[in-house]
Amino acid sequence: MNKHEAIRKALLDQREELNQRIHEITRDVRHQDAPLPSDFSEQATERENEEVMDALGAAGRQELSRLNRTLARIDAGEYGICASCGEPIPEARLEILPTSEYCVACAEKQGN
């Protein structure tokens, strides 16, 4: 097993969990299990809840995008190499931020 295979497996597990959560959020927002209540005040509360769920779904989709980019970098043999300067990303940084595409110096330049 190469040194990044454990990270790859953890990211795949995380991606599966995230996909499931996004699917559940989408079902809730679309009211696939139950229609909107008929009371207008309950509908207003439900709409507020939907806005929160939409925000959670958007954050989940952004994280899913990061996971997919990282998995693609692992598969291409580019994982652990800064996408900006081409220098190795320290293993300690990858342990803390496994989806990091940049070394510390380049991340600071980009505000990441």
What's the structural domain count of the chain?
Answer: 2
- Are 68 and 39 members of one domain? yes
Residue bearing the bigger pLDDT, 66 or 36: 66
32, 52: one domain: yes
Give the pLDDT of residue 32: 56
Same domain, 22 and 74: yes
Question: 3-state SS of the chain: helix, strand, coil percent to 5?
Answer: 65, 0, 30
Examine the domain organization and report whether 75 and 86 are in the same domain.
Answer: no
The Cβ of residue 89 has, within 10 Å, a number of other Cβ atoms equal to 21
| 74 and 105 within one domain | no
Query: The domain containing residue 109 runs over which residues?
Result: 80-112
Question: Do 31 and 85 share a domain, yes or no?
Answer: no
Whether pTM > 0.75 for this model: the answer is no
Q: Are residues 67 and 84 in the same domain?
A: no
pLDDT in tens, 56-112: 888 999 999 999 999 999 999 999 999 999 999 999 999 899 999 999 999 999 876
